[in-house]
Structure 1
C-alpha cells in the first residue's frame, strides 16, 4: 500500500496545503454551481495545479475529502437515558441540522453517488453512518424487536431523513427548509410509534 503524499517529508506543511485545498473546495461548493475541479480548487487556494494533483488525483477524491466530517460514533449525549422516543428525537434533530448546515456539500455528494460506476461504500453517503446513528438511538428496543428488527426500522427511518429527502421536499414539493426539517422529524417519530404500537417490525 502506498503512503499518502502528505505523510512523506514535511508532513505538517503538506497537511496545511491539503487543508487549504479542502477549504477552497468547500467554499466553491457553497457558492453553488458545478462541483469544483481540482484545478479550480488549486486556483482558489493559490496552489499550483501540479501540487494539487499530488494530493487529489481527481475531482472525486477532492469532493469526498471536502464532505463534512461524519466519523463520530453517536449523535447522543452521554446522559441520553433509555427513553427511545427522546433518543430518536435527539438523533434525528442533530442529523437534520447537520444535513441542512452542510447542504451544498451533501448535494454534491448525492450527485456523485448517482453517477454510473460508483461502487458501494466508495462515497460517504453510501457508508451507512446515519443508519448506525439511528440504530444507536433505537438500542433500548433490541430485546423487543431483535437486532434484525432494529436494523430494519433504522433503514426505514433513514429512508425518510437525509439529503435525498431534503432535496425532494424542497425542490419538488416546494417546502421551506424549516418545514422540510419538521416533516422529516415527524416521519421518523411516526415510524417509531408504529413499530412500538405493532410490537414487531417486519418489512
Structure 2
C-alpha cells in the first residue's frame, strides 16, 4: 500500500472512530443521561484514552454530541412565500413550535456551550452554536438583501437571531413564566416589529 493510500485509510478510520464516539454519546444523551467518559467509551467500544484523543474534555464531547443530535431533530420546514414579514413569521413559528419536543436537548446544548472555552491546545475546539439559524434567517430575508444597506441587513439578521431558537424560549418561559405557545407569539410579534423597523424608510439609519 502506498503512503497516500495508507494515510487515506487512517483518516477514514479516525472518522469512523470519532463518529462511533459521538454516536454513543448521542444515544446516551437521548436517554436523558449525563454520561461519563467511561460510559461513552464502553458504548462506543473504545478505551477512555481513545475518547480523550478525539475530545480534550467531556464537555466538548457532550456539546458535539448534543449539536449532532440537534441536526436530526431541529430542522425547520417553513414556506418561503409572501412578504418578508410573512416569511420571517413562518420561520419563527417553524423553529419555536419544535421547542417543547426538543427542550431537554436545547437546554443541554445551551448548558454545554454557553461560556465554554476551547482547550488551550486546540484553539477553536468549542463547537460553534447557532450558525444554521443564521442561514435560515438569511433565507427568509433574501428579498431584502439587495434593498437594504449591507450593514442594516446584517444588523437585522443579528437581531432576529435573538428571537429564534431555544435561548429565547428558555428566557420567556423561565423569566416570564409564559407557556410555549405564549412565548412563540411574543417571538413572532418581536420579529415582525424588527422587520418593520428595518424596512421603514423613516427609521434612523446606522
**TM > 0.5 between the two?**
yes
Q: Distance in 1 between matches of 2:38 and 2:25?
A: 12
2:63, 2:113 within 8 Å by CA — same for their partners in 1? no
1:145 corresponds to: 148
1:84, 1:137 within 8 Å by CA — same for their partners in 2? yes
1:160, 1:187 within 8 Å by CA — same for their partners in 2? yes
1:185 aligns with 2:188: yes
Q: Pick from 69, 72, 77: which aligns with 2:71?
A: 69
Comparing 144-153 with 2-11, which one deviates more in the overlay?
2-11
1:92 aligns with 2:99: no
2:57 corresponds to: 58
Larger radius of gyration: 2
Deviations 1:32-66 (A, max 9, x none): xxx433224445x4846538726655311233133
Secondary structure class of the residue paired with 1:145: coil
Q: Distance in 2 between matches of 1:104 and 1:55?
A: 26
Q: Structure 1 184/88 Cα, relative in aligned 2: closer, same or farther at 3 Å?
A: same
1:39, 1:52 within 8 Å by CA — same for their partners in 2? no
Query: Gaps spanning 5+ residues in structure 2: where?
Result: 1-6
TM-score (normalizing by structure 2):
0.70
Q: Distance in 1 between matches of 2:124 and 2:97?
A: 25
Query: Gaps spanning 5+ residues in structure 1: where?
Result: none
Tell me the CA shift for residue 95 of structure 1.
Answer: 2.2
TM-score (normalizing by structure 1):
0.71
1:110 corresponds to: 110
Cα RMSD, aligned residues only: 3.7
For this pair of structures, how many residues does the alignment match?
A: 191
